[in-house]
Amino acid sequence: MATHLYQNDLPDSVDLGPVVAIDCETMGLNPHRDRLCVVQMSGGDGDAHLVQISKDQTEAPNLTSMLTNPDVLKLFHYGRFDIAALYHRFGALTAPVYCTKIASRLVRTYTDRHGLKNLTQDLLGQDISKQQQMSDWGADTLTRAQMDYAASDVLHLHRLRDALDLRLAREGRSDLAQACFDFLPTRARLDLAGWPDTDIFAHS
């Protein structure tokens, strides 16, 4: 396994293939206030590719081309936040997408523990550290621990998708999951537009 670090954008030479796992690190949980700092990706080959985003950067042509490519499936865990953060920063709406957290909620109804750490333990028998989650991602230089943490957030998503797909099919919920994934970019836009906590489908 190798972890590659780039500045501002993916290099022209990097092709992550037809299914790309993606996660983001930000300064906080409010996309309007807290800037995007790092985008980490993996093509499922055991390597991780990290892009550090500059403070005032608004363009990343290679990255956004991949995010919007209809022939590339983007895997997330809690994609709702990451899609919103990427859209707010670059104006690129990520699609098509798959969210392991949504899939987990649809098939692991025997638990309320749907975090990435819980999923990797339950479905893959692996333990990942979340120690660096609250670190300063806006620092000019990432520590080795931060880079390892960022990589761990994307290196398991391909296998998690495979395991969750088996359970979705077994429980007859694959179509329902796909409908949720298709709606996720719109859900992210609603969050940014001012409806983060409102159920617009509610009667009142």
Residue 47 domain boundaries? 3-193
Quick one: average pLDDT of 2-30?
97
Question: Residue 46 has which token pair?
Answer: 């055991």
Residue 83 above 90 pLDDT? yes
Q: Give how many domains the chain has, as a whole number.
A: 1
Residue-level pLDDT at 114: 97
Residue-level pLDDT at 204: 83
Is 90 domain-assigned? yes
At 38 the three-state DSSP class reads strand
Residue 132 above 80 pLDDT? no
Is 17 domain-assigned? yes
Which band of pLDDT confidence, cut at 50, 70 and 90, is reported for residue 131? low
Cis status of the peptide bond prior to 96, with omega within 30 of 0: yes
Residue 170 above 80 pLDDT? yes
CATH code: domain of residue 95:
3.30.420.10
Quick one: average pLDDT of 82-97?
98
Is 180 domain-assigned? yes
Residue-level pLDDT at 129: 73
